[in-house]
Structure 1
Amino acid sequence: MITVLALIHFALYLAMLLLMLRLILDWVDGFAPRWRPRGVVLVAAIGIRRATEPGMRLMRRIIPPLRLGGVSLDMGFLVLLLVLSLLNSVVMSLLGAALSRV
């Protein structure tokens, strides 16, 4: 049980880390639209986008981006990050309870 909870915690933490890296990539893309990654950065960027796109696509379907004039705010990203954080908190409390019984 403890091993399973630890693996779930690791997966949720990794998903949150990938979302933060996706946020940085999107910001760089927004502030420097002519910048194109090359080499190792390109491979990492493709991997990050492929890993985060299914969750982002689902959130965009449920919560469409908020349009404010010429700006579009992706609220789905915030909701996805919040859900992952809450799930991680629940798993951590379960893990703490499981460890206290040992």
Structure 2
Amino acid sequence: MITLLLQIYLVVLLAHVIFSWVPRPPEPIMPFVLGVRRLVEPVAAPIRRVIPPLRLGNVGLDLSIIILFIGVRILMAVTRSVGL
């Protein structure tokens, strides 16, 4: 059960990454975009405070999302090995 929830959260993280590439999402999907942000930001913000975005010229690479992906994958491996 926990592994399934972590898999769903990985999909939410992927949606967050895709939505971050769109400067102004269409109005009909805006509630979905805001919902995804509400699920990701409380977890990503503390990581972002410790590891700020990497500046690459005029672009900032948000490492917190990458670290979050890795962390969720590690949690998935642990829960699978324990049998949750």
TM-score normalised according to structure 2 size? 0.89
Deviation at 1:67, TM superposition (A): 0.9
Structure 1 spans left out of the alignment, 5+ residues: 1-5, 30-34
Is 1:20 aligned to residue 14 of structure 2? yes
Q: Distance in 2 between matches of 1:70 and 1:80?
A: 24
Is 1:50 aligned to residue 45 of structure 2? no
Structure 1 runs of 4+ aligned residues shifted over 3 Å read none
Structure 2 spans left out of the alignment, 5+ residues: none
The answer (yes or no) to whether the contact 2:19–2:25 under 8 Å persists in 1 is: no
TM-score normalised according to structure 1 size? 0.75
> Who is 1:87 aligned against?
75
Q: Which has the larger radius of gyration?
A: 1
Residue 56 of structure 1 aligns with an amino acid whose one-letter code is A
Q: Distance in 1 between matches of 2:26 and 2:39?
A: 17
State percent identity of aligned pairs.
33
